[in-house]
Structure 1
Amino acid sequence: MNAPKTGSGSLADWLIYLEALHPKTIEMGLDRVNKVKLKLGLAPSFPVIIVGGTNGKGSVCAMLESILFCTGYKVGCYTSPHLLHYNERIRINKKEIDDETLCQIFEQINTARKDCQTSLTFFEFGTLAAMCIFIKAQIDVAILEVGLGGRLDAVNVFDADCSIVTSIDLDHIEYLGDTREKIGFEKAAIFRKNKPAICSETELPDSVNQQVKSIGANFFQYTKEFGFSKKNGQWDFWGPKGWRYSLPLPALRGEKQLQNASTCLAALDILNEVLPVSMNDVRLGLLEAVIPARFQVISTQPMIILDVAHNPSAASVLSGNLAATKPIGKTYGIFAMLKDKDIAGVVKALRNDIDCWLVSTVHSARTATVDYLINEIHNAGVVNEKNIVYQFSDCAAALVFACEQATKNDRICVFGSFYTVSDVLRHLNTL
C-alpha cells in the first residue's frame, strides 16, 4: 500500500496506511524506532515523565497532566489506546491534536523512515509523532505513557527525567513473560541512571530491585518513601517533601485512585525544583482530572458505568468499586473481551458482582467468541438461580437490552476491553 499523497491524504487514509505498513501489529525492539528518531533529530529539551505499569498508568498520566496544566505549564501528554478518535492519544494542554497536524507529522516521519530503510509499527509511528509535535510546540513538560512493557517499548527510546511504574501484574504474557518477576524486569527498564524512579507496587518483585541497582536509579517506593492516609472525605499525603494535609478526593472514581494520586504527588515532590507546583494547583488539578472509561459513570437512572478492565488485576479493582457502590437492584454486565486475555481470571474476579451477564463480541479480529466467554462464565460457577446469561451479536444490542430491562434501582456495567467500551460509546453517540 502506498502512503497518501502529499497534502491530500486524510487522517483516516494515514491510519489505514500505518496499520498495514508493518507485518506485525506489535514487534518489540528499539533499533528501528531509534534510527528514525535520530534521523528526525528528536532531542527534547523539556522534562520527560514516563509512566508504565500493568494498571493505573492512565490515571496517573491524567492527574499529572491536570495538575501541571492548572499550574500554568504547557503540557504534552501521549497515551494509548484511544476509545473513539486517534487524536485522543496526543494532547497539548488537554486539547487533542487536529487531523491536519497529525497528517503533516506522519508524512515527515514516513520520509525519515524511508531514508532509514526501515519499517515502523502503528504504535512506533504514534510515539515519534507525539514527540515531534511536542518539540515543535515548545512545550514545558511531556508525559508519555508506555504502551506495552517498558524495556522494548517505543516510548523507552526517550530518556525519562522521572520514571513511574504503577503496578506489576500478569498481562501481555506472550511478550513480557508469564511471571511477575519477568514482567517487573521489563517494566523497570524505563528507569534511568541517577534519575528518580517511582513505583507504587506494594508487592515488589526482586527483579525491580535488581533493575534499580543495575541502572543506578534513585528509587522511591509506595508505603516506604511516600503514601497517604484517608479520613472524613479527604486525604493526607506524605512524601519526599513532607506531609500535605486535607486534600480533596480525586475526581477520578474508585478506591485505587488515592494510591495513584499519591504516586503522582510523589513525582511532583521530586521534580519540584524543575517543575514547581503550588498546593492550590494540586487541589484544583485533582478535582479536574478526567480519564474516560475508568469507572466512569455516564448515566444515573439507571446508572451506566464504563470500565476498560481487561485483566484480573483491573477486574479486582472494578469488583471493589462495584461492591462499594452496590445498588438496591441488579447489576447488568455488558461483557466482551479479546481472546488473548485472561478471560477466566476476569470472570472469576467479578463473579459475585454481576447479576446478569450480557455477553457479546467486539469489532476486532482478536475478539473472543460468545460461546467461549459463556463457557468461561459457566466454568467460574457464576450461573445459578440468581445469575442469568444472555448472548448478543454486538455490544450495542446488549446495551439496548440492558436499558430496556434495568429499572432506576439497577445499574449497567460495561467492561472487558477498550473495544467493548468504544463499541458502546459509538452506539450512544448515534442516539
Structure 2
Amino acid sequence: MPSTPSRTLDDWLSYLEQVHPVGIDLGLERVAEVAHRMGLLESRLAPRIITVAGTNGKGSTVAMIEALARAHGLATAAYTSPHLLRYNERLRFDGSEADDATLVAGFEAVEAARLADEPVSLTYFEAGTLAALWAIFRHRPDLAVLEVGLGGRLDAVNVIDADVAVITTIALDHADFLGTDLEGIGREKAGIMRAGRPVILGSGELPASVHQCAEEQGATTMRLVHDFRWEPAGTGRFHWRGTAVDGTSSRLEGLPDPGLPLDNAATALQALIAAGVALDEVSCRLALRELQVPGRMQWLGQWCLDVGHNPHAAAYLAGRLAEQPCRGRTWVLLGMLGDKDADGVIGALAGVADGWVAVTLEGGRARNAEDLAGRIEAYGGHVAYQAPTPEDGAAWLSGRLAPDDRVLACGSFFTVAAILTWKQAQAA
C-alpha cells in the first residue's frame, strides 16, 4: 500500500484482507517476530494481564471482567473478536471503542515493523492483534483483557504472557482448524497457561487434557465448583464464593444476574481476585446490574439477539428461554454458516421453538435458507418463511408478531449484525 497521510481505517482493513495468502494461518513465529520488532515482548502491556480462551462464553467473560474492573476504579483495555457492526468494537479502553485514529496508528506501526529488515507476512487477524497490543501498550491501562480468537496455543494473542489464564468452555467448533477431538482441542486451549501462574477453569466439563496440561506447565488451577462457584439467591440474584491465590476464601452476597451465563460471571469474578483485585460487593453489584453485551442474550423489545452458533451455545439459549416462558409463541430466526453444526443447533432449540424463519447469509461459507429449512423440518419444526436475507426475514416476521410473542435471532455473528442494522434502520 502506498504511504499516504490520508489512509483511512477502511483502507487499512481492505489492504490487510489481501496481503496474506490465507485468512487463518495458525502459528506464533511470524507474529512473535513482528511483536519483537515493535518492542511488545520486552515490556509489559499492563500491570495485570488476563487472557481468555474457550469455545463459548469468551466475549461475555471478557465484558464482565472489564466492567467489574472499571467498577473498582481500574483503567482497562479489552481486545476481542470478531466484531458485529464496526471494527472499532474489537478494542476498548475504559469501556469505549477505540477511535479510527488509534487503530490506524496501530496498523501503521505494524506495517513499519513487518517490512523492516526481512518482510514478514501477517494475516488480517494477526495484524489486527498486533495493532491492538501496540495501542494497549501506549495507553498503559491498569488491566488488559485479551480474548483468544481461535484455539489458544497458536493464536496471535498468545504471543503475550498472561498473569491469569481463563478457559471458559470446550466444545466442538472450528473443526477445520481445531479438529473434532475434544482432548486435542483442550490441549490447544490450554496453551495459554503459564508456569506458576493461575488458570481459571470456568466449566466443570473440561477435557482431561486441560488438567494434564496445567499439571505439566506447573500452573495453579482454580476450578469452577471446587475453588469458586455461584449459588442461586432468589429470582434474579446469585451468591458467589471464591478463593484467592493465597488460599483465603471470599464471599459476595446477592449479586444481580447480568442475564449472561452465571458460570461466566463466577469465572470473571475469580479471574479478578486471582489477578490481585480486592473485590468490593457494592462495586460488583453495580457493574453486573448495568452490564449489557451486544449480541449476547441482548433483548430489544420482543427480540433476543445472540451470536451463539454451535450446539453448546444453543442449548444454553434454549435453557434460558425455557426459564422465562412467554404467553405467546417463541419464534427462532436462524441463519448459519455452512461449516457450523446446523443439525446440532436446531436440535438444541427445537424444544422451545414454536415457529422458525430460516434465512440465507451472504458469502462463500454461507448456508442457504432452503438447506436450513429442510433440516428444521427433519426435526419436526414448522418453517413459516424462508428468507433471502436476515433483514427480509426480520421484516416478514415483525409484521406477524403478536404482542406476547418473542423472537430468538441467532446462528451467526452475521445474522445478529444484520438484525441489529435492521433494527437501527427501523428506529431511525
The residue number in structure 2 matching 1:244 is 251
Does the Cα contact within 8 Å between 2:74 and 2:143 map onto a contact in 1?
yes
* Correspondence for 1:26: 24
How much has 1:186 moved relative to structure 2? 0.7
> Counterpart in 1 of 2:363?
364
Q: How many residues align?
A: 417
The CA distance in 1 between the partners of 2:2 and 2:44, in whole Å, is 28
Match of 2:411 among 403, 406, 416: 416
- How far apart, CA to CA, are the structure 2 residues paired with 1:163 and 1:184? 14
Aligned to 1:61: 62
**2:11 is equivalent to residue 13 of structure 1:** yes
Match of 1:114 in 2: 115
Unaligned regions of 5+ residues in structure 2, if any? none
Counterpart position of 1:266: 270
Cα displacement (A) at 1:8:
0.9
Residue 176, structure 1, aligned to residue 178, structure 2: yes
When normalised by structure 2's length, the TM-score is 0.94
Question: Where does residue 353 of structure 2 map in the other structure?
Answer: 354
**How far apart in 2 are the matches of 1:78 and 1:250?**
24
Deviation of the 1:4 alpha carbon: 5.4
SS at match of 1:20: coil
RMSD: 1.4
Cα offset, 1:319, TM superposition: 0.6
| Aligned counterpart in structure 1 of residue 150 of structure 2, from 148, 151, 168 | 148
- The whole-number CA distance in structure 2 between the counterparts of 1:269 and 1:100 is 34
- Aligned residues of 2:173 and 2:310 also touching (Cα < 8 A): yes
Q: Bigger shift: 392-401 or 42-51?
A: 42-51
- Residue of structure 1 in register with 2:380 after alignment: 382
Asked whether the equivalents of residues 242 and 249 of structure 2 are also in contact (C-alpha less than 8 Å), the reply is yes
2:342 matched to 1:343?
yes
| AA at the equivalent of 2:188 | E
1:145-195 alpha-carbon deviations (Å, 9 max, x no partner): 010110111110100000000001111112112021111111011000000
Does the residue aligned with 1:223 lie in a helix, a strand or coil?
coil
- Does residue 395 of structure 1 match 2:398? no
Deviation at 1:239, TM superposition (A): 1.4
- The DSSP-based 3-state class of the residue aligned with 2:308 is coil
Q: Distance in 2 between matches of 1:210 and 1:9?
A: 48
Q: SS at the partner of 1:164? A: strand
* Match status 1:306 vs 2:305: yes
Does residue 80 in structure 1 map to residue 81 in structure 2? yes
Q: In structure 2, how many angstroms separate the alpha carbons of the residues matched to 1:4 and 1:49?
A: 37
CA displacement at 1:427 relative to structure 2: 1.6
Q: Which amino acid aligns with 1:392?
A: A
How many angstroms does 1:45 deviate by? 4.7
Mark the CA change 1:62 to 1:162 in structure 2 (over 3 Å): closer, same or farther.
same
Question: What are the within-5 Å matches in structure 2 for residues 314-325 of structure 1?
Answer: 314-325=313-324
Matches of 1:141 and 1:388, distance apart in 2: 47
SS in 2 for 1:430: helix
Of stretches 283-292 and 64-73 in structure 1, the one that deviates more from structure 2 is 283-292
1:362–1:423 contact (8 Å) kept in structure 2 = no
Larger deviation, residues 110-119 vs 140-149: 110-119
Q: How many angstroms does 1:118 deviate by?
A: 1.2
Task: Give the fraction of aligned pairs with identical amino acids, expressed as a percent.
Answer: 39
The residue identity in structure 1 corresponding to 2:238 is W
What TM-score, normalized to structure 1?
Answer: 0.94
Query: Which letter maps to 2:27?
Result: G
